[in-house]
Structure formats: C-alpha cells, structure tokens
A and B are shown apart, each in its own frame.
Chain A
Amino acid sequence: MKRAVFRNRWLPYALVAPQVAITLVFFFWPALDSLRLSLYRSSPFGDRLIYVGLANFEKLFADPAYLRSGVTTFVFSFCVTFVGMAIALLLATLANAKIRGLGIYRTLLLWPYGIAPAIAGIIWLFIFHPSYGILPYLLSFVTTYQFNWFLKGWVAMVLITAAAIWKQFGYNLAFYLAGLQGVPESVLEAASVDGAGPVRRFFSMTFPLLSPVTFFLLTLNMTFAFFETFGLVHSVTQGGPGDATAILVYKAWKDGFEGLQIGLSAAQSVVLMAVVIALTAFQFRYAERKVVY
C-alpha cells in the first residue's frame, strides 16, 4: 500500500465513477439478469416470461445436442491450445541456437495475430474448398476420399482448428523462442555433462524453466479458443454441418438470437460463467504454486 496518498473527499469517487458505472451497467446488471432469466422461459407468443425454476438447466443437461456441444468445445479448445502449443514448443526447442536476425523472424511470426478469426476462417475456408481449394486438390492425388467440409463434420472441425491454430501459432513460437533464450546455457550443459539425453534434458530442465511462458500462453490460447473463435465458427461453418462445429458460445448465441429461447440461452450463459469462474480460480491457484519463476 502507498503511504503517500492524496487527500480529497470526492475526487477519488469521481475518478472511479466512469469505470464503476460501466461495470455496473454492462457487467453486473447483465450477469444478474442472466441468472434471473435462466429461471424463466418465454411464453409461446414470446410476449411474457413464465417462471420455471431450474427446468432450463435440467433441459440443457438432458439435451444430447448441448452435451455434444460441450464435447465439441472441449475437443476444439484442446486441439487449438495443446496441439498448437506443443508444436510451437517442439520447433522452438529444435531451433534453439544463437541465431542472427531473430528480430526479423519475430516480425514474420507475429503478424497473423492481427488477423480477425473471422477473416482467418474465410481464408482457410477457401483453402479447404471442396471444388477449388488447394488442399482437397492436393489430397486428391493421394486418396479418393472426399474431404468435403460441407458434408463431413470432422473435416469442418479440422478446418476451424487449422484456422485457429494458424492465427495463434506464430506468437506461441515467438514467445517460446524468447523464453528459451532466457534459459541459461550453462544449466543445459551441466545436465548434458551429467549424461542426460536430449529428451530427459528437455523434460527435467527446459520445460520446467519455461513454465511461466507455458502458463502465459495457456491462458491466452484457452481464452481465445473458448470465446474469440465465435467469429470463426459464425463466418465459416455456422456451427455445421449438422452441429459438428457448434461450440458452446455459438450455441448460446444461436439459441438466444435465432431461436429466441431467452431462458435457455441465459441458462447457457450461466453455465459458461461458472466455467470461466472455475478456470480463473484454477489459474490463480495453479499459477501461484507450480510455476517456476
């Protein structure tokens, strides 16, 4: 705490007022309203709300489509976060040497971060396009399988995962490279003299020393995969084919805005909120304990 403080009766309140006002109106009010609405459902004509208790939640968790959406979200986030980061870490470890021109590489790695997920999606949509895309064209030399993401759910999933990883990959790699430059060479050499092979050296020395970077990237990628990929799903697959790519956020939006099932959408918001709170809590606990700084 600061000891040298200014004294003023009203000024501090005036200073925090804008943020407090916006927080109350756009964060607390909607959050509480979501909690309230999750206990109601719209009447058949949509003109009034009927109190239904926890029925929306019961309906959600009994709905196979919602559970599928949960699994889809998990698989998608897992692939984007872990696969994307693992490849980046592997490449960074292999490329860990004193290299000239690291700054130039950094620029060439970081720019995709600026591309909106929706735009990344449109570019990858064309790369995967069943009739003109370059990827199905190249694959047609190898196999006769039709990689048509309009029809096959798993291809659509690969498409949005590829677009998401593409956008994230460069800065994952850039941060791992920077992190590795910070690992003292003498430490690795000492381990090498002790007879530790490259794999052991990686898991016993490099990886623990990189844990702050990993943790930082994990948070960033997870938030991205969970929430910011809405634009990607909306602009490319619209959740389809069927509901193969309907991630939780997309489903909450769709049920609320297209299905006009206010209560059901609010209940989904509440579930998402619980997930975010759990993740944040986990983040803080885990960050304190396991990360070597």
Chain B
Amino acid sequence: MPASAGAGAGALDARTAAVGVPRAAPAARRPDWNGRLAHLILLVAVSVLAFPLYYAFVISTQTLDQVSSLPPRLWPSTAMLQNYAAAWSRSGMARLLLNSAIVSIGIAAGKIAISLLSAFAIVYFNFRGRQVVFWMIFVTLMLPVPVRIVSTYQVISVLGWVDTYWGLTVPLMASATGTFLFRQFFQTIPDSLAEAAQLDGAGPMRFLWSFLLPLSRANLAALFVILFVYGWNEYLWPLMITNTPDMRTAVIGIEALVPRSGSQLPEWNVIMAAAMMVLLPPVLVIVAMQRWFVKGLVETEK
C-alpha cells in the first residue's frame, strides 16, 4: 500500500516539523545543500554591500524633484548627463582629479623608492648606526599623522610647504611598512645571489637595479596598489595643509558641494554624481589589480 505509507510518512514529517525536532539530512545530499547555502549567503552579502553604491548611482541620475519625493525611486532616471556635467563644472572636478592623481601616484612612487633604498642598505650593508636607523624607522609605525596634528602643520609652515604638492606628498612618503616589506623580502633571497653578482663585478647599485628590482616586481605591484588607494583616500592631511580650492584633492573637494547651513537645500543628485566620479579610480584599481591588492594588504600589515 504505497499510497498510505506515503501519507504516513508525510504525517510524520508534519509532526516532527511542528514539534521542531531537527531531522538529519540524508548524507548523500548534504554537500549540495551546503553549497547552495553558501551561495545564498554570499549572494545576499554581495547584494547588501552593493546596494548603497547602486542607490547612490540611482540618485545621481535623478532630477532634484525625483530625489526629494517619497517613496524613493530605486531605478535610474534621465538626468544623469546634466547631473554629472553640473558636478564636474561646479566642483572643478578636472583639477581635483588631477591633484588626487598627482598626490596618490607621487606618494606611492616616492614611498616605494625611499623604502626600497633604505631596506637595501639595512639588509646588504654593515654600517655603523644600522640598528639605530632600523629602530628609528620602526618607531614611526607608532606615529600616524593624527597623533601629531598641530605640530606637523607647524613643520610644514616653517618649510613653506602649505598648499603645495610637496606638502601634500613628501611628509606621507616615509613610513615603516614599505621598508619592512622589502627587508622581509630581501632576507629571503639567498646570499649566493649577491656573491655571484659581486664575482661578476657588479657593484651594489648594479645589483639592486638588475637583480633585486626584477625579483621584487610582485612586491612593488602589491605595495603600489595599497599606497595608491591610501593616497587617493587620505583625508586629514590634505584638509590640514591646503587652503585654496586649486590644491584640494578630490575627496576633500567634493565637500564644497554639501552646504553646511540648514537653509540651503543640498542638491543630492549632483553630490552623488561627484561622489561616483571620485570613488571610481581607487575602486577600479582594486578590481583590476585584485591579486596584488590582497597581497599588499596582508604584507603591509605585518
């Protein structure tokens, strides 16, 4: 009597479900179920993460009337071009993006060059004061910009670097992370390589340029991605040492579009358009160079 047996099993199912006793899943189907759950969780996580960006994008395509009407509209509208054009001209976006590019590439390149040289000296030379230099660099790990706000500003003004590209880049170029990364890496390179190079008559700079540098390509790329993103998104430093719109970086500059007084109605569609333009470059760098980004994140944090 297959029908009644089925009904009996169904009733049993219903009863256990009602009582809430968990039933062991059949062993054969278990992995499949796990995989689906994993996909479901990840899809939800990824969507929740993407929603604010999507919402910001949608706002950036709407007219001001649409932005300020309820219920909120969740699909793109027609005002995209004029919003982006308005954001571009009103904030002086061309100059802001140029400044951000100069600053972030400058910081990344400078930091890499400086830390590469000092790590090379520390690993490959025996010189008086080597330990002192090493500890001096190490201690800077403990002194991020915010803990020396006023004093650093005074140093910059003594140097006459307020509102200059020098002021925006040079002070952020020295930090221990790059030096440590390269030091760590150089120590994994067998001594025989340096010996062989010396036998071939290569001097130290030749060795650095033709042997170490090509070997360090992966580290260079990883460090570059992290430092580019860091430089692009740096906030406190450019806020402190720039005081003309021409020297503002993009992240600081778009704040000019957000009115602080309550009486003026902010044009959220234009603000979001500006935000989209400013956030795009570092996000693209991360997506395009994802592999290096993860490597850089792990290694700079060591």
Contact = CB atoms under 8 A, between A and B. Distances in A.
Interface of A: 2-8, 11-13, 15-16, 18-20, 22-31, 33-34, 37, 91, 94-99, 105-120, 122-124, 126-127, 129, 131-134, 137, 166, 169-171, 173-174, 216, 219-220, 223, 227-228, 230-231, 234-235, 238, 249, 252-253, 256-257, 262, 265-266, 269, 272-273, 276-277, 280
Interface in B28-75: 31, 34-35, 37-39, 41-42, 45-46, 49-50, 52-53, 55-56, 59, 67-72, 74
B275 A122 contact: yes
B215 interface: no
A17 B67 CA distance: 55
Nearest to B195: A4
A108 B41 contact: no
A107 B126 contact: no
Contacts of B98: none
Given A19-B114, A269-B151, A276-B143, A94 B204 contact: no
Given A5-B125, A110-B293, A216-B301, A26 B174 contact: yes
Interface in B63-89: 67-72, 74
Interface in B145-161: 145-155
Interface in B103-158: 113-115, 117-118, 120-127, 130, 133, 136-137, 139-155
B150 A34 contact: yes
B255 interface: yes
B274 to A, nearest CB: 9
A236 B170 CA distance: 28
Given A2-B124, A95-B42, A132 B72 contact: yes
A114 B174 contact: no
Nearest to A115: B279
Contacts of A173: 45
A17 B140 CA distance: 15
A171 B297 contact: yes
B92 interface: no
Contacts of A166: 49, 52
Q: Is the interface of A mostly helix, strand, loop or mixed?
A: helix
A123 B52 contact: yes
Given A97-B38, A99-B35, A110-B286, A6 B194 contact: yes
Nearest to A19: B118
Contacts of A11: 121, 125, 204-205
Given A116-B235, A127-B55, A109 B127 contact: no
B155 A25 contact: yes
Contacts of A227: 144-146
Contacts of A8: 125, 204
Interface string B191-207: 11011001000011101
A234 B234 CA distance: 13
Given A122-B272, A230-B236, 15 more contacts: A4-B124, A5-B125, A8-B204, A11-B204, A15-B121, A20-B137, A34-B151, A96-B38, A106-B294, A122-B254, A123-B52, A126-B56, A230-B235, A256-B150, A265-B150
